[in-house]
Amino acid sequence: MKPLRRKFSILLFIAVLMVSLSPSLVNAVENKWDEWVLYSPIETDGDSKYKAIYLTEEVYEHSLLSLADLRLIDKNGDAVPYYIQQGQKVVEENEITHQTTLIATEHKNNDTKLDYKVEPIRQGTDIRGNMLLFALPEQNFLKHLMIHGSYDGNQWEFLNEDFIYRTEQLTKNKVSLNNTYKYSYYRVTILDNAEQIRLPKLQLIYQEENEEWQRYEKIIKLNYEISEEDKTTVVTLDNSHHLRMKEIHFTIEGNFQRAFTIYDSNNQWIRSDEGQELYNLHFKDMLIANKSILFDKHPVSTDQLTIKIKNHDNPPLSIQDISVEYYIDKIVFEDKGLGPYKLYFGNAEADAPNYDIRLFQSYIEKEKQDIVMLEKVIANQDKEMSESALPSWLNEKMIFNIVVIFISLMLIILLMKKLNNK
């Protein structure tokens, strides 16, 4: 009985070992990205540390609306941290120049006082300024200035002091006031002006910087159909890419004024941002037109948009073309030389990743970024193979149970044969 017991123990050990390894064997051949349906290869170009990718229509069509399923993968199959940027800050500079007239000059104790009166741009408008611009004489000099301001030319308030100069290589002819003032008079005192340098021309400058957030946008031509139903023109716009539409622009000739209503794919009413009417009133002395539907505040991403234009007893509008402006997103990541990269998408169960890089995006956006392109979308072969190789009912747990049952039956059969032989 001892040899039998020894053989049985060996078989039992092998069975336990196989059972314990079977889940890990299944997992070993499983690709961790096989739940993603599609991917696009990315070839990195340029020498910049950071790369940027603008998403394409195919990505929007097959990914989640929240873009939570996007995964950037390096050549080793590891996830690469990224953040999504939807727009950028644009700084617009406005400059207004006020001319001045020199109304008084006084030279005393080697100092020269120059009083200037500011001319308003238009009668009744406020005078605003935050910088003085001088026309410098031709000779080389360096002068220390004291600047005062006044509303009436009698009571003066100190504003700032600075230097102006001209050398063979350099000039400085601007003095900042460090704030915006509405004074009508300015007094410029040139200290230690034994040479009696003259500054006959002075301009008051108002410089203003406005920061505006601009989202990334793109224009595309979507497929559409036009039909006529009961004095109504019905435009059906195909948005199967699920683009976040900002504006729909119609190319229509002639004079017209027509009300419209908009419905999504579930026949739910949608309101545009600026009224519910298209018009084009073009006469000799008048041109008033609105041939666009705006969703700027609330972009529309329904897969089908229906626009019903009421014609009443008028002939249908001759719509020649329709274009759509939509918002796009930019993915930014750090290139550590582990390319080529892939962008995986198309997983309805994926949760949005949480990367540290998003905390630094305000700084990274100031860095130079190389724009790289997404290549042709490819079906994920790992997902195709895993789905085609196994029926839907055959999963990892089922395989584990089958292996256990099979080994157990083999042990029982071998044990019964040995007992019968004895």
pLDDT tens-digit readout, 91-131 = 677 889 999 999 999 999 999 999 999 999 888 788 999 99
Residue 20 DSSP code: H
Mean pLDDT, residues 256-285: 88
The per-residue pLDDT for range 325-366, each reduced to its tens digit, is 999 999 999 999 998 999 999 999 999 999 999 999 989 998
Domains of the chain as residue ranges with CATH: 2-30+388-421 (no CATH), 38-86+329-379 (no CATH), 92-213 (2.60.120), 217-327 (2.60.120)
Q: What is the model's pLDDT at position 298?
A: 86
Q: What is the model's pLDDT at position 347?
A: 93
Sheet holding 369-372, edge to edge: 82-85, 330-334, 50-54, 369-372
For residue 260, give the nearest of 308, 324, 225, 319 by alpha carbon: 308
Q: What is the model's pLDDT at position 28?
A: 37
Q: Can you tell me whether residue 247 is helix, strand or coil?
A: strand
**Residue in this structure with the two tokens 């000059």, named with its chain if needed:** 105
For residue 422, pLDDT beyond 60: no
The per-residue pLDDT for range 378-413, each reduced to its tens digit, is 998 755 444 443 444 445 555 666 766 777 777 777
- List Cα–Cα distances, 197 to 163, 190, 384, in angstroms: 13, 8, 84
Residue 79 DSSP code: B
For residue 3, pLDDT beyond 60: no
Mean pLDDT, residues 190-196: 92
| Percentage of the residues of the chain whose pLDDT score is greater than 90 | 63
Mean pLDDT across the chain: 85
Nearby residues of 133 by Cβ (< 8 Å), 6 or more positions away? 97, 173, 174, 202, 203, 204, 205
Q: Could you give the CA distance from residue 137 to residue 192 in angstroms, rounded to a whole number? A: 17
Identify the band that residue 296 occupies on the pLDDT scale cut at 50, 70 and 90: confident
Q: What is the model's pLDDT at position 25?
A: 40
Q: Could you give the CA distance from residue 132 to residue 138 in angstroms, rounded to a whole number? A: 19
Q: What is the model's pLDDT at position 2?
A: 52
